[in-house]
Structure 1
């Protein structure tokens, strides 16, 4: 069982994926699931919330006789992502202080 991911970090992960390239919900879910064990039913509400906040915009593109809804990062979304990255680095450094032990001389021998 893995550790819980906070809503702020999950938002940041989604924004980071969309920053790489505009994407649709299923592809985004597949990409995140390659690394993190998370349910698609968790990610779609995140996409809706980020869109409602103005962090993402959407556009439709025809595919196989239907439209796919693509998500695109907005300037606000880029700022939220930068803030999340900065907060993550601070948080990671603080947690690493306790959980990451430097190699001792005895271990090196």
Structure 2
């Protein structure tokens, strides 16, 4: 899944996301209301978060959080960020991810 974020010191926190970070990792999904692949991505990320202790899935409405979207350079939905326990962006990918790719990306975050 995706690429390692070039700004390895880029971090997000509860204020940025409007939700608490996971104890071990956070799967952040940027979505829009009419995005078909966002629905499948929501199911995949929620399923993986439910399988792995300490991992949460946070969905961010890209249209409501334009400042954050611009700051992170997000140009399409869905875009998924995998954050480590400290909120550092470990992996980033656009498009609907496969479950195996999400699990592999989590392995780099925890």
Instruction: Specify which structure has the higher proportion of helix.
Output: 1
The structure whose Rg is larger is 1
- Ranked by relative contact order (alpha carbons within 8 Å, sequence separation 6 or more), the top structure is 2
Q: TM-score, normalised by structure 1?
A: 0.26
Instruction: Specify which structure has the higher proportion of strand.
Output: 2
